[in-house]
Structure 1
């Protein structure tokens, strides 16, 4: 019933935003006003972008209008237009941060251009956060999703994986098979990959460690709700139970469970492809060790037996990795192994970051000196976490548990994050769209979210309003203040993705997408350009606008669990902070 209420609330909010006022314009001019379509905090920064402007247009006015009474409530002047090469457009900022009254509003730019309506209130991300976490439930493999928990998106079980073959290149006995049920589908396909699941699960565990009170038992309407455990920990455990099936007898960890090539556009129960246990590598083993050690620490007060098993498996994985320090996973026709495998490769050639991450997690779980961290173990530079670069996850754990480490280790970790945060602040201040520097590679939408994550740790080290207000403004990009004019989260905003590259959503026969999924976003590589030609191609060659809301656009419109994990922890930070006073610093 709770999920039904959530869906109704989301739907009602969307309908309210889209139809509450006759002032909303559906013209292209209206889409030239890019703002956070979900809304703004009353006491936070409030800026919108006007892109239909010439560089010579100065002193152009805008006004804020009450969408219900059509009364002007604020008037201001657009900033001087600036050119952004990545978007190939001139843009000016409408800043109405001084206005703090909650309500429903539209922006009108001089000349009569009206925005879509948006809200100002103190709970703008409550539903979006809830929905973004629940996407992991919708990604569950091997079980049916019933209407009580999945609402209209209920479905039959698929990929039970009670007995699947090992890929022949693993060298197992002929006809040997294993069981590997459960876990989350990785992205728009039906594969399950330890490497990408590693950073995903770690970010969600970190969300619990930092903001666990946001997700009490019963808050997410899961099948496990009512068991006395945090719903977030319940959802994570579903993935961890699959992790446990991925360890070989010698301690090494298999790379993935997928078919040899991607499945078609079918529901899980209708997929005829045969999934295999594929690969074994240093990266997958260290991802496993790090996540299971982290889980052992956080689940100790919930289920001691489960936590102990996680730790035992983590230590066995570590021992295998020490003996196999550079085993890469490769596939495809040019590889010496797995030539017939065409699913996600997640190739990684450097494992120093994985060793640091796993070692840090094991030290915190055991306090054993053999896992102790020295200052020489830390990376030379800070990199935000991705599946291919995980050293920041170690730095974050050191910062959150600094009392467990030598002072010079924790101080270096903190300085690295603080220096990265200063860089982010400078980039945002100098950017026409008030975002950090983006290079528009695959999955570009996590760039501002990772910036929020970095700033949240700087704020943990030493709280300052600028970290919070900048994070609030960076989230505006995700929900519509970007050159495409899209809110990149399904189901949220007046213009959000309707056709994600996601097999279940393509095949379920339900017109609206499952709410809460973050799509990959603009991708300058446009690797799917050929397949999109028959559907009209991309709307622009500009990197910041290289996005297409079409099921065929796997390069810009796919979803992935690691991207949603980044959204979850960033929104959790803002939700955790929303009760505090948020003010735009002078």
Structure 2
């Protein structure tokens, strides 16, 4: 969770094998560059005048020369920086860059640069599955195999006093919620947060289906389901979708929960409500488990935590999206999803102010007391799937209908609905056209921020939040949508800039992705990938992204020691104990997968108007 104290080895980037190299003064994407997109390096150097640079090929011949663009002092990194534009290196090959007496590591220009990363980023979700053994033949290496965690999870509702002394009545049923994805470094499974991660995978499938390009076609993902005739990306998404469906409360069930706005961090009075069709917020441990703990060794009580309106709308949105995708692939599953989506949406309309209280230990709260964006998202998905006038009216009445688009995160999901309206097949122009305009305007805003950023990323701020890498990757996703809508190269180049930062073009010279780059992530905050604490346990498999620098919530003991002494982009360390800086999560890996897969596509043409 984010708020608390496929892949054969041959696919892993060759530079990730062995010990990490020392940091360098020339910062660039440690995977390399695509031939037909932007190629930029950042040099941290004190010079106040442009510097001459030279790029040489593998034989030592001069491939390109020029002078740096002086950017100057950059508050986000604390560096004085210069930009090197390597756009002239379009011929595939291996190169080195020399500037100011420094020479970079070798880097490649290659067309298939992002295919291995996309495959590994998808396979992360297999590794984080609950309720199933992670087998050596699918894990990519025996080190990552493990017995099933929570193999038969039939959970009761939390009852009794929470950590604030509020008493909960519980419920008179149990739900079989076996399966799904562990959320992050702990063993909690959340409907809020599972929703945005699942949506991102399902949206990626819809994007690829529109082009007839299926890089994760059946058998390519090395999953237990491979060979069933279904795209492996959809097989992985269905694993989580089934869990979300299982979290829906039976019709006729009652729940005693706080209803109304949260005031001063407390909860309003409890009321007994008709909870049928709502979704439980999460299933999780009663108390935090220690680092490290294998999932199969978790002995804490597993409990269903109270339903919330936000969780219910996450279910409604993703299940409506599911119904659209599976309509011709598996009509029975599609019908199940649509029925669940309708029930959930109706339940949320009936109970619009049941909010998470963030008052349980042992799991993250994902508290959110403004669910207007969730209502908009769910209505957009249901409208795109059914075209029913009631959902069109809900969209028109939403405050998000004409609001500026912001990059999505688990608590701000309106952009997900806007992307669906802009891109889903058959959405009328009356809804699609303004959605497209809003997304393009947002993308233009991100590019404007890039011009103000020292490291030239689409994120100009001094406030690096929890999971900042995912903020940048979700912005890259919107840039990718704008590129597909317009065909404009600048949006694809903006995606590249975001990925360059995550893969090494940053002041720490750090690839924040395990198994990729000269200095990859090695010690995420995770209870099983915990080699730093227990030599019998593995490090992370390839394709896992760290949350990244966090200068705003430095709450763990490692981060607390850095507080006040690091520039925002430097507030990070590769340490398993640094949960505020170095946790991993499904909603962070999902945009990594989306962006890597989008960059692996041939440059898209402007689509025909529908």
- Secondary structure in 2 matching 1:48: strand
Kept in 1, the 8 Å contact 2:525–2:577? The answer is yes
**Aligned ranges for residues 117-136 of structure 1 at < 5 Å?**
117-136=106-125
Name stretches of at least 5 consecutive residues in structure 2 with no aligned partner.
Answer: 1-5, 160-166, 251-275
Given the alignment of the two structures, is residue 347 of structure 1 paired with residue 367 of structure 2, yes or no? yes
**Distance in 2 (alpha carbons) for counterparts of 1:341 and 1:170:** 14
**Aligned ranges for residues 38-437 of structure 1 at < 5 Å?**
38-51=31-44, 53-56=45-48, 58-66=49-57, 68-111=58-101, 113-150=102-139, 151-152=141-142, 153-168=144-159, 171-173=169-171, 176-212=173-209, 213-249=214-250, 250-264=276-290, 265-332=292-359, 340-373=360-393, 374-377=395-398, 378-401=401-424, 403-405=426-428, 407-436=429-458, 437=460
**Distance in 1 (alpha carbons) for counterparts of 2:171 and 2:245:** 21
Q: Give the total of aligned pairs.
A: 554
**Distance in 2 (alpha carbons) for counterparts of 1:467 and 1:88:** 27
After superposition, the Cα gap between the structure-2 partners of 1:12 and 1:494, relative to the gap in structure 1 and judged at 3 Å, is closer
Displacement of 1:11: 5.7
Given the alignment of the two structures, is residue 486 of structure 1 paired with residue 487 of structure 2, yes or no? no
- RMSD of aligned Cα (Å): 2.3
**Distance in 2 (alpha carbons) for counterparts of 1:9 and 1:161:** 33
Provide TM-score, normalisation by structure 2: 0.86
After superposition, the Cα gap between the structure-2 partners of 1:214 and 1:146, relative to the gap in structure 1 and judged at 3 Å, is same
Kept in 1, the 8 Å contact 2:188–2:283? The answer is yes
Kept in 1, the 8 Å contact 2:404–2:442? The answer is no
Aligned with 2:481 (options 454, 457, 461): 457
**Distance in 1 (alpha carbons) for counterparts of 2:584 and 2:127:** 12
Partner of 1:335: none
**Distance in 1 (alpha carbons) for counterparts of 2:317 and 2:450:** 33
After superposition, the Cα gap between the structure-2 partners of 1:41 and 1:89, relative to the gap in structure 1 and judged at 3 Å, is same
**Distance in 2 (alpha carbons) for counterparts of 1:9 and 1:578:** 23
Could you report, residue by residue, the CA deviation over 1:248-289 in whole angstroms, capped at 9, with x for unpaired residues?
111111000001222121111111112111111100001101
**Distance in 2 (alpha carbons) for counterparts of 1:360 and 1:235:** 23
Displacement of 1:459: 2.2
**Distance in 2 (alpha carbons) for counterparts of 1:544 and 1:247:** 40
After superposition, the Cα gap between the structure-2 partners of 1:27 and 1:570, relative to the gap in structure 1 and judged at 3 Å, is closer
Kept in 1, the 8 Å contact 2:284–2:362? The answer is no
**Distance in 1 (alpha carbons) for counterparts of 2:483 and 2:551:** 32
**Distance in 1 (alpha carbons) for counterparts of 2:449 and 2:358:** 38
**Distance in 1 (alpha carbons) for counterparts of 2:50 and 2:316:** 58
**Distance in 2 (alpha carbons) for counterparts of 1:272 and 1:540:** 39
**Distance in 2 (alpha carbons) for counterparts of 1:82 and 1:270:** 52
Displacement of 1:313: 1.2
**Distance in 2 (alpha carbons) for counterparts of 1:538 and 1:73:** 44
**Distance in 2 (alpha carbons) for counterparts of 1:310 and 1:409:** 24
**Distance in 1 (alpha carbons) for counterparts of 2:343 and 2:600:** 38
Kept in 1, the 8 Å contact 2:530–2:539? The answer is no
Displacement of 1:532: 5.3
- Secondary structure in 2 matching 1:353: helix
Provide TM-score, normalisation by structure 1: 0.90
Could you report, residue by residue, the CA deviation over 1:324-382 in whole angstroms, capped at 9, with x for unpaired residues?
011111032xxxxxxx4341010101011111111121122222222224544315221
Q: Which has the higher helix share?
A: 1
**Distance in 2 (alpha carbons) for counterparts of 1:291 and 1:166:** 24
**Distance in 1 (alpha carbons) for counterparts of 2:71 and 2:436:** 37
After superposition, the Cα gap between the structure-2 partners of 1:494 and 1:110, relative to the gap in structure 1 and judged at 3 Å, is same
Kept in 1, the 8 Å contact 2:150–2:295? The answer is yes
Partner of 1:562: 587
Kept in 2, the 8 Å contact 1:331–1:342? The answer is no
Partner of 1:22: none
Displacement of 1:445: 0.5
Displacement of 1:26: 5.4
- Secondary structure in 1 matching 2:42: strand
